[in-house]
Amino acid sequence: MNRIRIAVIDDDSLIRLGICSSVDWGRHGYEVVGEAENGESGWEMIQRVRPDVVFLDISMPVMDGIDVLKLMQQSGVRTRAVILSCHDDFHLVKEAMKNGAYDYLRKSEINGDNLLCVLDEICQTLLEGDLSGEQAAARGGWENYSNRYSSLKRLVTGRGGAGESAAQARWLAIKEKELYCVTFAVAGYQQVIQRYDEGYPFTLEHGVVNLSKDVLRQRTAEVELFVLKENQYVLLLSGADRREELFSLLEQMASVLKNYLNVEVLFGVGGVVQSFSALPGAFRQAVYSQKLHYFRPGERIIQETRPPEDTMGGPVFSRLAQEVRDMAEQKNYPQLFAALKETIQWLRRHSGRNLDADGITEFLRETVRSLLVQEGKAPDHALIKLQNCGTLEETEDFFGELQKEVQPGGAAQNHYLIRAATEYIQKNLSRGDISLGEIADYLMISKSYLCRLFQKKLGVSVQHYIHNIRIEKAKEYLNDFHLKIYEIAELTGFNSSTHFNIVFKKIMNCTPVEYRNGLRH
Tell me what pLDDT residue 24 has: 84
* pLDDT single digits (tens) 221-235: 888 998 888 889 999
Question: Do 4-130 and 145-303 have matching folds?
Answer: no
Is the pLDDT assigned to residue 129 strictly greater than 70? no
pLDDT digits (tens, 9 = 90+) for 426-437: 888 888 778 888
Return the ∠ at Cα 315 (arms to 313 and 321), rounded to 5°: 70
Give the percent of the chain with pLDDT over 70. 87
Question: Counting beta carbons within 10 angstroms of the beta carbon of residue 157, is it exposed (0 to 12), middle (13 to 18) or buried (19 or more)?
Answer: middle
**Is 136's pLDDT higher than 50?**
no
Q: Are 98 and 66 in contact (CB under 8 A)?
A: no
* HSE toward the beta carbon, residue 14, CA cutoff 13 A: 3
Q: How far apart are CA 79 and CA 135, in angstroms?
A: 18
Question: Which amino acid would we find at residue 317?
Answer: F
Mean pLDDT across 390-395: 91
Per-residue confidence (pLDDT) for residue 285, from 0 to 100: 96
DSSP for 316-376, written as a single string: HHHHHHHHHHHHHHHT-HHHHHHHHHHHHHHHHHTTTS---HHHHHHHHHHHHHHHHHHTT
Beta bridge partners of 30: 4
Q: Per-domain residue ranges for the chain?
A: 4-130, 145-303, 315-407, 416-520
Please report the pLDDT score of residue 126 as a whole number.
62
The CATH H-level superfamily of 145-303 is: Reverse transcriptase/Diguanylate cyclase domain (3.30.70.270)
Element housing 53 (H / E): strand 53-57
The model's pTM is: 0.57
Asked if the model's pLDDT at residue 377 lies above 80, the reply is no
Instruction: For residues 481 and 108, give the distance between their C-alpha atoms in angstroms, rounded to a whole number.
Output: 61
**Can you tell me the mean pLDDT for 359-367?**
92
Maximum mean pLDDT: which of 54-58, 239-243, 330-334: 54-58
Structure confidence at residue 146 (pLDDT): 47
The secondary structure of 200-265 as a DSSP string is --HHHHHHHHHHHHHHHHHH-S-EEEEEEETTEEEEEE----SHHHHHHHHHHHHHHHHHHH---E
Stretch among 320-324, 438-442, 453-457 having the lowest mean pLDDT: 453-457
203-206: long-range pairs with CB below 8 Å, 24+? 203/106, 204/261, 204/263, 205/230, 205/231, 206/104
Distance CA 301, CA 258 (A): 15
Contact assessment for residue 311 and residue 317, using Cβ atoms and an 8 Å cutoff: yes
Asked whether the beta carbons of 58 and 64 are under 8 A apart, the reply is yes
Q: CB count, 10 Å around CB of 509?
A: 10
CATH code of domain 4-130: 3.40.50.2300
Give the pairing of strands 265-269 and 301-303.
Answer: parallel
Q: Is the pLDDT of residue 411 over 60?
A: no
What is the model's pLDDT at position 284? 95
Q: Which helix (H) or strand (E) holds 497?
A: helix 497-508
Its sign, for the CA torsion 483, 486, 487, 493, is positive
Measured distance CA(136)–CA(299) in Å, rounded: 44
Does residue 268 register a pLDDT over 60? yes
**pLDDT higher than threshold 80 for residue 171:** no
Lowest-confidence pick of 44-58, 323-337, 378-392? 323-337
* Phi, psi of 399, rounded to the nearest 5 degrees: -70, -30
H or E stretch at 408: helix 392-412
Q: 132 falls in which pLDDT band (50, 70, 90)?
A: very low
Please report which confidence band the pLDDT of residue 463 belongs to, taking 50, 70 and 90 as the band edges.
Answer: confident
Q: Which CATH architecture has domain 416-520?
A: Orthogonal Bundle (1.10)
Are 323 and 339 a contacting pair, CB within 8 Å?
Answer: yes
Looking at residue 289, its amino acid is: S
